[in-house]
Every structure is written in structure tokens, then in C-alpha cells.
Structure 1
Amino acid sequence: MRSGLCSRAARRRRRSVLSGVFGALFGMEMDEQSSRTKHIIVDGNALAREIVTSVRHAVAGFTQQPRVVIVQDTRAESSVGARYVRKKLAAAREAGIEAVTVHVPQEAPSVPEAVRRALQTGGQVVVQLPVADPREREEALALLPPERDPDVIGTRARELFAQGKALALPPVVSAIGHIARRYDIPLFGARVVIVGKGYLVGAPAALWFAQQGAQVTVLSKDDALIPTLREGDIVLAGAGSPRLISADMVKEGVVFLDAATSEIGGALVGDAHEEISKKASVWTPVPGGIGPVAVAGLLENVARLTRM
């Protein structure tokens, strides 16, 4: 018996030594092969359903049904935006939240006036961007109190967010957080490259990643992308420029988060070529990636702020 144990121990030692030798000789190739074989395609629809179900269970215990008014400026409406609003309304119904739309100028003379009326009726208020008149946009966003701003786009809510005191997270940031937790994506010390400086994606995401301890670089779509993109452990696309980023522009094993939505021939597309999915360790498709999770995050905020 003792001889058998010694024999097995010797074999284990030999395997350990061989493993160390091969690891030293071929470690780089083995690591690269490992990164090539790990390709997670995020099912945003499934994750969103989980979140919506959780919201529905939470609001079932509320004494009053949560309510959200979506102010929609039809003068600036796009087919993508209209589709997004329909998804919000449908998800709200599933979550047990009352959601209504107010159309400008059909039901109110201006966006600020629509916001004032919505605030008088109670519940949460969302200003659906874009707004046709920049002055109306700024006035409307200044009217939103943080405790009734589930989209976290109002002037005061953004100030609190920048200070790390937000009552809720912007929905796209919330979606990124959900995905990072679900797939164990390390953020502290990660090199994050964001393409796009927009108000809804690039700006809040850059601030949030920095708050998590990441090293953040923000580019516009007109910048020289390749040198910097290839350094990114995490790339967030939010430029709204269809198929701007191709696979040769990012490194093997990148976490690629595509938060942009454009339309080509009636089909929704993101900023990235789909071929990146074969190179990325984590990939969010368009449609079906960040979008539905962001909608679910909005409803989480409606429930959270209603309960406050």
C-alpha cells in the first residue's frame, strides 16, 4: 500500500513539473488560446426579464402602483426612438408599473410645459431625448427633481451622480453594472475605452467607470481609434455610428459593450461589426444586449424612487 501511494505521489510530482515546464515554454500560446475559446454573448433579453420579474415582485407589495410619464417630443422623433419608447411601455406593463406617454406638441405646447403638468399629476417623469429645441431641453431637464427622475438626466440628478450621491444610476450605467456583476467582469484597474461622448451613454459611463477605479479614455468617432482601442480591456461603444468599429481594431479577449443603436434598412445595428463577437471574451449584441437591460434598469429606478 505504501509503495502504491509513493508511486502515485511521484507521478503527481512529474505531472506538476511537466506542467510547469510546458507552462514556461508555451504559456503565451496557451493563454492566447484560452482567451480565444472564451466567448460570452450576453443575452440581454433574458437578464432584463429577470430584473423586470424582480421589480414586479417588489411593487406588488407597494400600497400604490408606481407611475411614470414619458414626455415624447414628436418633432424630434426617430423610428429608433419610437421603438425604444414602445419597449419601455411594454416592459412597464410586465413590471406592474403604470406608464403613459405625453406627446409634444399634440398634447402639450412644449416639453417644459409637459414636464410641469406631469409633475403635478404625481409619479415619475421621463423626458425622452432628443428634444427638438435645445432651449426647451435645458429648461425641461432643469425642472426634474432627482427623486422623480428615473432616467437620471435632469440637471440636479446628474450633479448628484457626479458627486457619487445619486439616488439612482442612469439606465445605461445600471445595465453595464448588471452585466459586469453577472459575468464577473473586473472593473478596478481595467483600461476602459469609450467611443462617444453623448449625454445618455458616453458621459455617464465615463464617470461611473472612473468611480469604480478604472482607467478611462473617452474618444469621439472622429478621433484616431485604432492605437487606443487596442489597449482597451473594456470597450464601450456609444457613438451612434453604424459598424464604426471592426475586429482588427480591438485586442483578443476584449470585453465589448455596444450601447449604440442605429437603423440600416429597417434593422437595428450597433457601432460594432458582429465579427468582434468571435474575438471578444464578452460581447453585447445589438439588438438584444444592453438595450433591454437599460429599460429594465429604468423600471428599477421607477420602483426605487417611488418607494423613497
Structure 2
Amino acid sequence: MNTAQTTLSLVADIGGTNTRVALANGKDILPDTIRRYSNDKFPGLESVLRQYVADEGDVTPTAACVAVAGPVRDGEATMTNLDWTIDRDTLTRATGAHTVAILNDLQAQGHALGHLDPAKIQTVLEGPQAHDNAAKLVVGVGTGFNATPVYDLAHGRVVPPSESGHANLPIRTELELRLCQFVSTAHGFPAVEDVLSGRGLERAYAFLGVEAGDPRELSAKDIMAHCDQRTDARAIEAAQLFTRILGTVCGNLSLIQLPFGGVYLVGGVARAISGHLTALGFGDAFRDKGRFAGFMGNFGVYVVHDDYAALNGSAAHLVSLAQGD
């Protein structure tokens, strides 16, 4: 790389299986620089980033930000499904950047809102027009579950850390009570993530098999394929159970956070089921709040179909830091 490119920043999205790394010019990700690395081939993040720097011609970025699938506290990240140590010193050593930052991956998704291609945002429930600084809610549904509010304040955007997926599952029906009891046998506690995730969809399918006296297992990918092709009634029933609980949880979170700027669903499972949300009753469950049912119409719900949103959000966060926000 030539010296002009050393003004670029480095951003990374670290999942449990793969790490994606790219260079950004301000808030814009440079598509030709996006690379994916298998985590199992590296002993830690530092070696991944050093490999990326070498692959990009020994570039020295001015800043670096990584989005991590796990909680972040005091500048140090703990991966939920990966035994890696990630802290600011690691980023500085690996990249040579003067400014470094670590975000939870959902925080990065929150920082991406407003910087994504509108064509990649699907409307599930229409909401009324809101001012640009209205609070938003980003909900991640993928390998796990999490949700956090997004606040645009006078001094800049704030996306607080959260671990919403480990709260209790809501219970509305006898069937949902039995589902809670079924999933709690795995961890002794029925958490939201035990149903609202890829593994959770598989548990919902297995639960319905036990209920029917015909226990069978199916992967989340195959469940969604059967839903798309309408070739397995139990897969459709599992997806409906999943969707209605998702609607209930998103409705609960909306009443807590009042995201008049919209609720944004992100993550691979959210994208996979997005075409079925309306038919499977998401809207009905979202608005099923008794005398507050009408009030729920204040919140639009959208699905983000941008697999690189966490990279965009990391780049946007670095721009904010550079501006002193």
C-alpha cells in the first residue's frame, strides 16, 4: 500500500467462528479490503490482525476498532464462544494505530444505524415519522440474542453495553410455560437466548416433537428451508412459536426503551426469518399489550440485511472519536 492509505482506519468484526477485517476511509468501508479469517487457525486476535496488516501490504492504520461477540468492560473483551483475550494493548501492538476502541458487536450494529444503505433495510411494521435524534433499539438475533438502545445526544451517539439475552423468557401461554421448562433443563434457567437464537429455534422444534410424542431434531438452517418451501408442518409451527415470542420480547423492550426512532432486527437468524415475520404473527405478538396495544403503533420495526453493518458501525464510531464526540 502507498503512504496515502495510512490515513485509513482498520475495523474488525470478531465472531465465534470467523473474524472479518477491513479498512475504512472515514465512515466508508472499502469493499476490496474486506478479508475473512477462520479463528481456529490463529491463537488469538493479535495474530489475525498482524496477518491482515501483512496481507494489506503492511499498512499502518491511524485508528482501529473491533466489534466482539461478547461483553466488553473497561476496555477488555471476553468472548462468549472463544478463548481469546482482547484489549486495547493488543490492538495497539497488532496494528500500530494511535487510537483504538473495542465494542460489543451489538454496540457496533447500533453505531451503524443511519449509515447503512436504505435498500438493505426491510420494513416489518410501519411506524410514524420521527425526528433523527429519536431513540432507537437494535435487537440481535443470531448465534445468540441481545438488544440495546441507541441514543443520539448533543455530545454524540451512545450505545450502552447489554446482555439482554440472559434475561428470563416471558411466559404468556401454557405452551410457552412448558417450552420454558423444556429449555431450562439445558442450563437450569429459561433465558431469552435459549429460544430466540439459532440454537433456540432448534430447541423449539425439538420441544414440539416431544409434545407430539414424536421427538426429532432438525438444524435451524433446515427448519428455515422447510418454512420457505412449506414442506414440514412442525418446522412452520416451531418458526411461529419462535416468531411470536420474538414479537413479545421486542414489544417488552420497546415499552422499556421507547424507541420512537424504530426497532432494528439484525443477525443471521433475523435475516433468515424476515420474510415470514408477518405471516407468523410477529406484529400481533408485538402489539399484544392490552390497553397499550394502540401505543405500540408508535414503534416501527425493521430488519437490517447488511452483513457488514458491524464493520460500518465500528468505522462510524472511530469517526466520532476523532471528532471528539
TM-score by length of 1: 0.40
Higher Rg of the two aligned structures: 1
Structure ranking higher in helix proportion? 1
Structure ranking higher in strand proportion? 2
